[in-house]
Amino acid sequence: MPTDSWATLLVDGQWRPGATSFEVVDPATGEPIGRAADGTARDALAALDAACAAAEAWRAVSAEERGGHLRRAAAAIRDRVDVLAALLTRENGKPLGEARAELLGSARMLEWSAEEARRAGGRVLPPSPSGPGLVVKAPVGPALAITPWNFPASMLIRKIGLALAAGAPLIVKPAEQTPLIATELVRVLHDTGLPAGVLQSITTSRPAEVAGALLADPRLRKVSFTGSTEVGLGLLRATDTHLRRTSLELGGHSPAIVFADADLPAAAAGVVAAKFFNAGQSCIAVNRLYAHRSVHDELLGLIEEKVAALRVGHGAAEGTTIGPLIDQAALDKVERQVADAVERGARVRVGGRRWSGPAELKGAFYEPTVLTEVGDDMLVTREETFGPVLPVYSFDTDDEAVTRANATEYGLAAYLFGRDLSRLWTAADRLDFGVIGVNDPAPVRPELPFGGMRNSGQEREGGAEGIEAFLETKAIAIKL
């Protein structure tokens, strides 16, 4: 793929260069891999003008036709998955196998969204003495999607698929760390023949300036954001003159509970997968592991063995299972949490320090780490880590485990491992989290709604609920 094509913005159906560009680096080596167009507030408002102009015509396009664009894009992603995965790995750092899986999952999400376009109808109510009633769904209008760097393909595609399926024109603002894969995926969608203004992309190194210009404009009717809780709360406070629909998928502090009757080898494999995928840089990564005291030591031994076998390196190198953290600030945060835990009495069982590899790998690497004897007052217990560190705790009763798991301001994901269905159901019912994996380390599927409670967000993406985020509801009463 030509690298000069990355330094372009998609505005009103045309790829155009930015006035300036910014450098994008491989987080494993620090070496530049390309440049992205550095969009401005002026570019963003031009995109909003085009989205507003396109809104009525796109709304009138049939659900079948809108879905056709998404299905063609899904097929194109599958055809180019190896090339796209190589770019994703170079830009984000994750292992090549994970990048490939993310892209194939993105294709599935597009296909799901295409079908949701057909199902996004309303309903006819039984006649009342006054006459019949209708509930009608309508596109929310021009929307903005702000996407993160940790899953720069799947988070982008999930928002694009649902918005376009609903009939809402969309402007995407990818993370400044990973604009290249986003540009390529927007190109895939655009090349399906989308009308001008329906999908537009503004890459930028000045996200606050670009987003601020759009948020100040009342013509923007919807924002869908995935990122930190701090930034998400800021988006809600961004204007005080008008309301708009806002979907937020924010931070997490996911607990995993392993009950005494769990299949311990399977639970150990599940916890390691759910913790160390993408080097722990996932909002649904396990941040706290609660093991029943009777199986704590056996489970810990199995986990230590698996974690010690993880291979750190460049994501494109064969056999790599842990890539770099995205930048130095991420590494500093992980080091700060581990140092705080050790100073307060925690014990490092595996890892616990920066990883030193070949000289060319200058990135922010950290060894996969397991901590025990962790207290509830430590930073690692209270703050989201976003790195490859697993703190392990023990518990004695089911009630204690659930109470401690819920002791956080976040409510995105949680995990349960055990055999007793009654116990699992009771725990799942009591856990205050939007996504719960029961003996399942990867509880994210296109057909399931995704989102959190409390400070982990509002509204949902995916599932039958996902398209509702881009639809308004009208009640029509008819008097005969």
Which residues are part of the catalytic machinery?
Answer: 249, 283
- What's the CA gap between 208 and 186, in Å, rounded? 21
8 beta partners: 17
Say which DSSP state 414 is in: E
CA-CA-CA-CA dihedral for 97, 101, 102, 104, to nearest 10: 140
CA distances from 359 to 63, 300, 313, 355 (A): 53, 33, 12, 12
- The SS3 of residue 120 is coil
Alpha helices per DSSP H over 256-327: 264-276, 296-308
DSSP codes, 223-248: EEEES-HHHHHHHHTS-SS---EEEE
- What's the CA gap between 416 and 166, in Å, rounded? 34
- What's the CA gap between 104 and 80, in Å, rounded? 10
Q: Label residue 463 left, alpha or beta by phi (over 0 means left) and psi (-120 to 50 means alpha).
A: left
Phi and psi, residue 19, nearest 5°: -60, -30
- What's the CA gap between 50 and 220, in Å, rounded? 12
Q: Are β-strands 32-37 and 453-454 bridged in parallel, bridged antiparallel, or unpaired?
A: unpaired
Q: Which helix (H) or strand (E) holds 426?
A: helix 421-430
DSSP codes, 161-201: HHHHHHT--EEEE--TTSHHHHHHHHHHHHTTTPPTTSEEE
- Sequence letter at residue 163: A
Q: Max CA-CA distance within the chain? A: 80
Q: Are β-strands 369-372 and 347-350 bridged in parallel, bridged antiparallel, or unpaired?
A: antiparallel
- What's the CA gap between 35 and 335, in Å, rounded? 30
Say which DSSP state 368 is in: -
Q: Are β-strands 143-146 and 222-226 bridged in parallel, bridged antiparallel, or unpaired?
A: parallel
Residues 157 and 466 sit within 8 Å (Cβ to Cβ) = no
- What's the CA gap between 238 and 184, in Å, rounded? 30
Cα 226 to the center of its chain, rounded Å: 6
